[in-house]
Amino acid sequence: MIVTEGLTKRFNGTLAVDGLTLEVREGEVFGFLGPNGAGKTTTVRMLSCLIAPTAGTAWVNGYQVGREDGAIRRSVGILTEAPGLYERLSAEMNLSLYARLYEVKDVAGQVEKYLRLLGLWEQRHQPTAEFSKGMKQKLAIARALIHEPRVLFLDEPTAALDPEAARIVRDFIEEMRVEGRTIFLCTHNLDEADRLCDRIAVFKQRLIQVDTPQNLRQRLYGRKVAFRLKAVTPALVACVQALPFAREVQADGNQLIIGLNDPENQNPQVVRALVEAGGDVQYVGELRHSLEEVYFKLLGEP
Ligand SMILES: Nc1ncnc2c1ncn2[C@@H]1O[C@H](COP(=O)(O)OP(=O)(O)OP(=O)(O)O)[C@@H](O)[C@H]1O
Ligand SMILES: [Mg+2]
């Protein structure tokens, strides 16, 4: 759906994006994470043909950036950092204007569909100058979708939103995924990325790592399981250490934290060994590193 090869953007002296090579698959929600100034927005602007790359190439929806920009613009939706609406026009007018620009067939129908979906139908006649930040954001999302694009670029879609509005937008992204659209999502909200994204790229001028959130965790930290016992005794520690597959055994209060590569098959063996050694197992649960920990580790920051 989106393929980039050595995509590069230089602004005068600044190298904003340096040789980005990646592939975003059809129907996936792809998270693009990185600190302020990492070059995320610049990447989105190149992929949606708003600015030209300095070097490298990219294909979006099968069309090549720089060669078939018109076709790309028609087939993608973009939510930019600043909504940029026509403030004196009503919400309805804003949307129908874009719907006509995109040559949408059923303009009135599409406008109504998205105003209702985003909860703006009652306010449709109000000039957008009178809208709150969140309402503007929702209208900008509606605008990005009005022509039913197959690929959607969302640059920090929930940044300005209250928790409820952010949730509406997140649910919306889920729905877009169910409909098989491809979503390229820039966000600073790591929990959001963790929940929504099939795969995540950590990026800072260059691509640092791409994988599923789960694989990123495992690759960096391995899997660890906590076994809570009535009491941890030296004998229990020793019996677990004797298991050939236990990578690492740590006692923490009344828990044993054990590094395991295959908890599904190894947990029962650990429990059996503990019980045989006289341990009372109260609880078994896998530890989960937050995506925030993964993110900072990948960026090499504390
Ligand atoms: N039009 C421009 N002219 C000159 N420099 C620019 C321009 N647009 C972006 N840059 C520079 O490119 C770099 C990347 O900016 P970009 O906006 O892509 O970052 P970002 O990852 O989106 O950051 P943020 O998380 O703050 O939105 C920055 O150093 C920025 O100053
Ligand atoms: Mg940005």
Tell me what the mean pLDDT of segment 163-179 comes to: 87
Q: For the chain, what is the mean pLDDT?
A: 93
Which residue in 17, 26, 22, 27 sits closest to 5, CA to CA? 22
Low-confidence winner among 67-71, 152-156, 219-223 (lowest mean pLDDT):
219-223
Tell me what the mean pLDDT of segment 253-259 comes to: 94
Ligand 1 environment, Cβ below 6 A: 11, 14, 16, 34, 36-42
Which part of the chain is CATH 3.40.50.300?
Answer: 2-211
Q: How confident is the model at residue 168 (pLDDT cuts 50, 70, 90)?
A: confident
Counting ligands in written order, which one lies closest to the CA of residue 42?
A: 1
Decide yes or no: CATH 3.30.70.100 for domain 219-292.
yes
Q: What is the pLDDT of residues 46-56, one digit of tens each?
A: 999 999 999 99
Decide yes or no: CATH 3.10.180.10 for domain 2-211.
no
Which part of the chain is CATH 3.30.70.100?
Answer: 219-292
The rounded Å distance from CA 300 to ligand 1 centre is 21
Q: Is the pLDDT of residue 169 over 90?
A: no
Tell me what the mean pLDDT of segment 266-282 comes to: 95
Q: Is the pLDDT of residue 83 over 80?
A: no
Q: Is the pLDDT of residue 302 over 70?
A: no
Quote the pLDDT of residue 97.
94
The atom number, within ligand 1, closest to the CA of 45 reads: 18
